[in-house]
């Protein structure tokens, strides 16, 4: 389109030159110089007239606005679409400054765009607002600068179209996007608040449950103390009195002495059972000597019950490094883990590791070399299928903000791991 326009314009100029030569009685010179007959010149003139009419027909039939303007920015040509858009006649438009209808706020941007036109970069595409028949409208223009052989700007051709509807839809889309983003931010903030409230509630529930366990442990401590100091002491006194009485009754018949000896054996068994119940409720060594010693005492008792099992303790931590509120929790979960290992593993070695991690957590690991099991086959991958022992260990650990994990392979033993954060209260 642009090349054809340039070619037709050049043809028009050539034809006008020939016509002027004829009017100045320079026909012979022209005909002689070009080797053309007058008849040929008339044929060229007719062809030029037809081509110009065809060109104008193409330009006028375009829906886009088309205009031409001088380097001084005065319009020299506009098509019908241009006139309809601005609701002006061609006579009202020709000669006007091309920027007269441009909205003032967009003028600096246009000046900057046109200042960069040159022979190597003759095109510029730009959007700007104009005052048209229907009010302020958005338009999109392609401007092409035309230069002569010496590189001087001779004319600018512009082709534009109305993009107001597109801009309206674009603004609607932008506004909808902004509203959607605002709703997303609002919803995200609501979910964050709900999450924080849920976490606060869970933390409160954990504290309440921990307080409940602490109250239970305190009650156990009192019961254990009563058993040890009250019933235990009374039974011990009875035992001592009977022993003294047996010494004093050497002259009694053997049947009477045997009866007292039977009573004494019953008392001894009762005292042992009382001590066992007391230790089960709350080991006194936990309060008196600490967790590490209590664990050693517990494994010592287990060695007596299971002499074929080797218990290996590996403590990479000092007693003072263990928070007081975690001691009873660690002892209880270790009790359960050792109970499971001694009853079900069938192994001959159980290793107990208690250490501190780099992120200020306590790590308790119980590992056996027993028969192990397939966790998938036993459905233990799903925590809903865990027994009471595993659930108790998990619950006690999570109440303190810790993590519980179990790993096992068939014929490869079982590993139970507990992680306790030291900074929870």
Read off the pLDDT of residues 73-131 as tens digits, 9 standing for 90 and up. 999 999 989 999 999 999 999 999 989 999 999 999 888 888 888 888 899 999 999 99
DSSP letter for 151, please: S
Predicted local confidence at residue 28, as pLDDT: 47
Read off the pLDDT of residues 10-53 as tens digits, 9 standing for 90 and up. 543 454 454 444 444 444 444 444 444 566 666 666 666 655 55
300: Cβ–Cβ under 8 A, 6 or more apart, which residues? none
Residue 382 burial (CB count, 10 A): 9
285: Cβ–Cβ under 8 A, 6 or more apart, which residues? 293, 294, 297
For residue 16, what are the CA distances in angstroms to 10, 43, 76, 116, 154?
A: 10, 14, 18, 33, 18
Predicted local confidence at residue 239, as pLDDT: 72
Distance CA 58, CA 50 (A): 12
Strand, coil or helix: 317: coil
Distance CA 47, CA 41 (A): 10
Cβ atoms of 193 and 259 closer than 8 Å: no
Predicted local confidence at residue 295, as pLDDT: 93
pTM greater than 0.75 (yes/no): no
Closest CA to 141 of 95, 81, 189, 200: 81
Predicted local confidence at residue 113, as pLDDT: 86
Cβ atoms of 145 and 109 closer than 8 Å: no
Alpha carbon of residue 109 to chain centroid: 41
Predicted local confidence at residue 195, as pLDDT: 87
140: Cβ–Cβ under 8 A, 6 or more apart, which residues? 125, 126, 127, 160, 161, 163
**∠ CA(388), CA(389), CA(394), 5° rounding?**
95
DSSP letter for 67, please: E
Cβ atoms of 292 and 319 closer than 8 Å: yes
Predicted local confidence at residue 25, as pLDDT: 42
Distance CA 143, CA 155 (A): 10
Distance CA 372, CA 341 (A): 10
DSSP letter for 252, please: S
Alpha carbon of residue 391 to chain centroid: 32
Name residues of the chain where pLDDT drops below 70: 1-62, 215, 218-219, 222, 225-234, 245-263, 276-281, 377-388, 424-425
51: Cβ–Cβ under 8 A, 6 or more apart, which residues? 8, 11
Strand, coil or helix: 250: coil
Question: Average pLDDT over the chain, rounded to whole?
Answer: 79
DSSP letter for 246, please: H
């Amino acid at each position: 389109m642009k090349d054809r326009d340039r070619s037709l314009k050049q043809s028009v100029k050539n034809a006008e030159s020939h016509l002027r030569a004829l009017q100045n009685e320079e026909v012979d010179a022209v005909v002689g110089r070009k080797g053309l007959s007058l008849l040929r010149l008339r044929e060229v003139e007719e062809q030029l007239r037809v081509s110009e009419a065809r060109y104008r027909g193409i330009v006028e039939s375009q829906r886009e606005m088309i205009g031409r303007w001088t380097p001084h920015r005065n319009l020299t040509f506009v098509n019908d679409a241009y006139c309809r858009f601005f609701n002006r006649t061609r006579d009202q438009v020709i000669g006007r400054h091309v920027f007269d209808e441009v909205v003032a706020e967009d003028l600096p941007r246009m000046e900057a765009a046109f200042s960069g036109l040159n022979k190597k970069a003759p095109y510029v595409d730009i959007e700007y607002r104009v005052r048209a028949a229907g009010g302020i409208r958005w338009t999109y223009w392609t401007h092409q600068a035309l230069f002569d052989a010496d590189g001087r700007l001779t004319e600018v051709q512009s082709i534009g179209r109305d993009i107001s509807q597109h801009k309206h839809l674009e603004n609607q889309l932008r506004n909808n996007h902004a509203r959607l983003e605002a709703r997303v931010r609002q919803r995200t903030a609501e979910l964050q608040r709900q999450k924080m409230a849920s976490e606060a509630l869970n933390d409160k529930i954990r504290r309440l449950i921990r307080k409940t366990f602490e109250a239970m442990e305190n009650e156990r401590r009192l019961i254990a103390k009563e058993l040890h100091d009250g019933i235990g002491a009374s039974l011990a006194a009875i035992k001592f009195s009977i022993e003294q009485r047996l010494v004093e009754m050497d002259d009694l018949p053997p049947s009477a002495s045997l009866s007292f000896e039977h009573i004494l054996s019953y008392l001894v068994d009762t005292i042992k059972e009382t001590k066992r119940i007391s230790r089960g409720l709350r080991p006194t060594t936990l309060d008196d000597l600490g967790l590490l010693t209590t664990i050693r005492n517990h494994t010592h008792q287990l060695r007596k019950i299971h002499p074929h099992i080797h218990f290996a303790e590996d403590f990479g931590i000092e007693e003072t490094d263990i928070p007081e509120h975690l001691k009873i929790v660690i002892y209880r979960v270790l009790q359960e883990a050792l109970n499971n290992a001694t009853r079900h593993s069938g192994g001959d070695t159980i290793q107990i590791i208690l250490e501190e991690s780099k992120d200020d957590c306590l790590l308790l690991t119980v590992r056996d070399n027993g028969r192990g099991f397939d966790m998938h086959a036993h459905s233990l991958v799903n925590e809903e299928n865990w027994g009471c022992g595993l659930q108790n260990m998990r619950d006690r650990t999570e109440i303190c903000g810790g993590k519980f994990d179990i790993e096992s392979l068939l014929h490869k033993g079982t590993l139970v791991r507990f992680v306790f954060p030291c900074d929870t209260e």
